[in-house]
Amino acid sequence: MVIGFNTDVAFQGTTYHVQTEVKARAANPRVETRLYVGGAILAAKQTSYREIADIKQLERVLTKVAAEQHKSVIGDIHAGKYAGNRVDRIAADLISSEPLAKILARHLGFQDEPGAAESS
């Protein structure tokens, strides 16, 4: 399975290259998006799919997840998030430790099971 996207985005005089790939390594399966400027990695975003690696139609699901993650980074470029190449300003929220199952549930509008909510 080879899933990936590459897009060049011009914003405020800078050309950004967005590259998204599905990495199917057994130890760390993930969807990885890297943002390059001038050949150097400016930022990276990773989403693990270990929890759903055995589902049917995995390739279809991963294609959608990779496309959404890719579009999200492109949207962030157009929103000015990376303007000025300020890695320190954006690094904290680029790596997602949230499980892919939760990201998919949120994206698809599923609610947590009853009783799963935290109590105060």
User: What confidence tens digit (pLDDT) does each residue in 26-39 have?
Assistant: 788 999 999 999 88
Residue 8 has a pLDDT of 97
User: For 81-113, what is each residue's pLDDT tens digit?
Assistant: 988 655 433 443 445 566 767 766 665 666 554
> Reading across the β-sheet that carries 40-48, which strands appear in turn?
4-11, 14-23, 30-37, 40-48
* Model pTM score: 0.69
Q: Between β-strands 4-11 and 30-37, what pairing exists: parallel, antiparallel or unpaired?
A: unpaired
Phi, psi (degrees; rounded to nearest 5) at 15: -100, 120
Cβ contact 44:34 at 8 Å: yes
- 52 CB neighbour count, 10 Å cutoff: 16
The two structure tokens encoding residue 109 = 């509008």
Q: How confident is the model at residue 61 (pLDDT cuts 50, 70, 90)?
A: very high
